[in-house]
Amino acid sequence: MPIARDVSLQPFNTFAVAASANYFAAITSSEDLRTVLDDAAVAGQPHLILGGGSNILFTRDFDGLVLKNEIHGIQVVKEDNAHAWVRAGAGEDWDAFVRWTLKHRFYGLENLALIPGAVGASPVQNIGAYGVEVGELLEQVDTVEMASGEPRRFHVSECELGYRTSIFKQPPRDRYFITSVTFRLRKRARLVTTYTDVARAIAEEATDALTAEKLSDIIRRIRRGKLPDPAELGNAGSFFKNPVISVARLEPLATEHPGMPHFLQPDGRIKIAAGWLIEQCGWKGKRTGSCGVYPQQALVLVNYSGAAGSEILALSRTIAHSVKARFGIDLEPEPRIL
């Protein structure tokens, strides 16, 4: 298969920042990948695996080989009375896949509607929203080990899933090329409506029969109201993870800032709303040069017009420094920064 030279990466990242790759190959199958790995022209080159480009910030050109995951296909691999096991190619668009599951009456992913990116990124990030994490529905991840070219299957128990992390994010990065992801979905919906925004929207909907399909539509409306469409305004969704702190650290903070949103985690620690911290520091809606903080959601950094990745990174560091100075809390970026 052809390997292209000096390819612009601007169309392949949702921040829409300018960058280029020395080598670029679109991978549509495991066979494509093995062909590229055997090509002497790129032997020994650093490599970067790229999905939907919705969780990466380029601050420079990539001096190596970019492998764009374009493996498609969705199939039901088995069923029983309660569940369906659905395998999706890693290059499938995530929200299109969520819509497919609902169309076929397979449930569990409805709260994860409209998250940008590809299916292959879902276990890497252990994506989550509105009370659901993808790890709760994950069955297995099929990969190719880059060093050997051999297939390797990870059961969910082997994926080392955590808050926005997994074994696939641990160094060395891009050790495994994800080819497909299999989900264990329910045939009877079990709706999760505990988040305040969701509960409020449901109440305003005034519907007698809430279905998974209606819940998914409600969540799409909530997300559209808070988050910009990357096709219209460059962004990578939430730029910072919500920090997790101990109960001991929370007590003085809650006393000093009684309105601070915080949520008890299963491990007994406390998750703090990063967007609230950033907003309290005066960043919401603030613009610096060609980039800024989205007016409807302080967690989202946006590229207004031709910002370089280095500008967006500098803004993020300034924001994190101000949060640290005021609250003593470190903010960790969610996107991969190159």
Say if residues 52 and 38 touch (Cβ distance below 8 Å): no
**Side-chain half-sphere exposure of 154, counting CA atoms within 13 A:** 23
> Which candidate in 180, 216, 238, 316 is catalytic?
238
Active site residue 238: yes
Active site residue 246: no
> Which candidate in 87, 164, 184, 223 is catalytic?
164
> Which candidate in 92, 110, 133, 334 is catalytic?
334
Active site residue 180: no
Q: Please identify every residue annotated as catalytic.
A: 164, 238, 334
